[in-house]
Structure 1
Amino acid sequence: MSLTIHPTQEANWWPLLQDQACGTQLIAGKTLLELQQQNADGISDAHQYDNAWITQADWEKLAAAAQPAVLKSAQGYTLAWTGDQNGEEITASEQSFLINYAWEFISLNEQIVSQLNANDFQGDVSPAAHIDGFVSVGKGSKILPGVVIEGNVVIGENCKIGPNCYLRGSTTIGNDCHIGQAVEIKNSIVGHGSSVGHLSYVGDSVIGNQVNFGAGTITSNLRHDGANHKSMIEGRLLDTGRRKFGAIIGDGTHTGILTAIYPGRKLGPNSSTRPNDTVERDLT
């Protein structure tokens, strides 16, 4: 396998990935780069942008074409190529796309986690936990009594899950995390070393590393009018294309107890809120 990763040309993942490559982002228990290399395995003279997600089926489509060939997204953006970029143009499926904004990691994680088809229990799962779906549990992790898991979920190593929390698909939890009493997490990514200890809700969100949610922190994820959420990027209000969108939380952020976060908001790295705060606008 010969995969060359080329730097991103235009993307804004703030507040995630500060001073780090896109490939370090946690997706379905692995880094994005690991998943990219896995999908391109066996393709000779393969090139892709570091923020391109390409399914195995689309890599096979590209490999079957005479070199050189260029794989473009359904929206017309170049994702990958073999040889140089002057060959035959091939259109990828809707499942392959450029990741230009932080909320697009949610869609990618959902795509991959939803495809799990077997349990992988390397940690301890209490017989008093209820699991309805396929779950991966890393080494040293514990699923305590009263935990309900509905849908597919990936849990990293050395985590403490529960007691009495509710995890919904498609959710990824990193290594060394604590998800505790009366917490609900749905269709989200929780980074390494983060804690959502009690009485909180996280929905359709990406939480960075070493984040701590104070008790009762709630991410809202649905507008009253049901319209798509918009997000401010470099002074422009962009349509995210998501009807349900919670929050993007940068590394090292701490929230005070009973913090309420408006839908689609972003909290910068190492930011904080006070008890009973309401986050109406992005915190930088």
Structure 2
Amino acid sequence: MPVLAERPLAEFPIGNITLQAHHQRLTGITVAARAWIHPDDLSRLVPGSISTLTDESGTPLAWTGEAPDPSQSVVAPGSFMIVQTWDLLRANESWVGSLSEDRIEGEVHANAVVEGTLQLGKGSRILPGVYLEGNVVIGENCKIGPNCYIRGNTSIGDKCHIGQSVEIKNSIILSRTNVGHLSYVGDSILGADANLGAGTITSNFRHDGGNHRTMVAGELVDTGRRKFGTIIGDRVHTGINTSIYPGRKLFAGTSTLPGAIVSRDVQ
């Protein structure tokens, strides 16, 4: 997992909250280390009747009491084990999509449009011409805009810049990463301290509409996703007008030249 090469899974942010912190918020419930629990599934735990949530294969995800109890279990349809990198996108979609209350601690310009739920951290500014559609989470001390389009369910970390004529869709962007101008990032994960050169474009849809496949440990794996862009590790820099095929990964510290076409993983 390129974005996990320098951080444990427990410290990866889902909606700008670490997975470990999500687990700790579930008081009285033990959660498997790699599990994501959809908020709606918690209502399936019924004291004295249902004590364990499992996935479709029967693997315990969360439970009350000292240990999972197969005799008092129920399948949690929105919950799952995080096994592959793209499962982080699914978890982010689950959490950000469930938000229903704004929390705006930064500044939203009068000429920006917000249609959906927005959580905006302290010191962050949303500049004129920005259009936010769907649920969006933005950290502290970010500069968003001018004239960019961000649509749900997207989370952006601290000290990021999303700028002129940039579109971000259903993505996770970690802290101190810049997508300054003329770029498209869809259904993707960008690591920390990355910089996308102007005109960097991620492709996220196959011409035949089929599921995307990507290389994992030398094998081509079906992601189960019809929309899947790129996974970019920490400190990656792309040259201007870089085009990235769906499902390709750029590992931490790598870079591309201007005009590059990324048809294979960059390591």
Q: TM-score, normalised by structure 2?
A: 0.94
Q: 2:2 aligned with 1:15, yes or no?
A: yes
| 1:179-206 Cα distance to aligned partner (Å, 9 max, x none) | 0000000000000000000000000001
The aligned amino acid for 1:230 is R
Match of 2:53 in 1: 71
Distance in 1 separating the partners of 2:244 and 2:216: 18
Q: How does 1:84-163 map to 2 (within 5 A)?
A: 84-85=67-68, 87-163=70-146
Q: In structure 2, do the counterparts of structure 1 residues 86 and 113 end up closer, same or farther at CA, with 3 Å as the change threshold?
A: closer
Identity score, percent: 49
Distance in 2 separating the partners of 1:140 and 1:171: 19
Q: What's the offset of the Cα at 1:107? A: 1.2
| 1:239-268 Cα distance to aligned partner (Å, 9 max, x none) | 111000000111111000000000011110
Q: Is the 8 A contact 2:23 2:31 kept in 1?
A: no
Question: Which one of the candidate residues 9, 23, 27 is aligned to 1:36?
Answer: 23
Distance in 1 separating the partners of 2:200 and 2:263: 14
Distance in 2 separating the partners of 1:115 and 1:84: 28
Q: TM-score, normalised by structure 1?
A: 0.89
Q: What's the offset of the Cα at 1:87? A: 5.0
Q: Is the 8 A contact 1:147 1:163 kept in 2?
A: yes
Distance in 2 separating the partners of 1:56 and 1:216: 37
Q: 2:215 aligned with 1:228, yes or no?
A: no
Distance in 2 separating the partners of 1:63 and 1:36: 19
Q: Is the 8 A contact 1:58 1:92 kept in 2?
A: no
Distance in 2 separating the partners of 1:206 and 1:156: 16
Question: Which one of the candidate residues 30, 34, 40 is aligned to 1:47?
Answer: 30
Q: What's the offset of the Cα at 1:63? A: 5.8
Q: In structure 2, do the counterparts of structure 1 residues 58 and 83 end up closer, same or farther at CA, with 3 Å as the change threshold?
A: farther
Match of 2:251 in 1: 268
Distance in 1 separating the partners of 2:69 and 2:114: 50
Q: Is the 8 A contact 1:72 1:89 kept in 2?
A: no
Which range is displaced more, 75-84 or 122-131?
Answer: 75-84
The aligned amino acid for 2:151 is R
Question: Which one of the candidate residues 171, 184, 200 is aligned to 1:217?
Answer: 200
Count residues in correspondence: 266
Q: Is the 8 A contact 1:74 1:91 kept in 2?
A: no
Moved over 6 A (4+): none
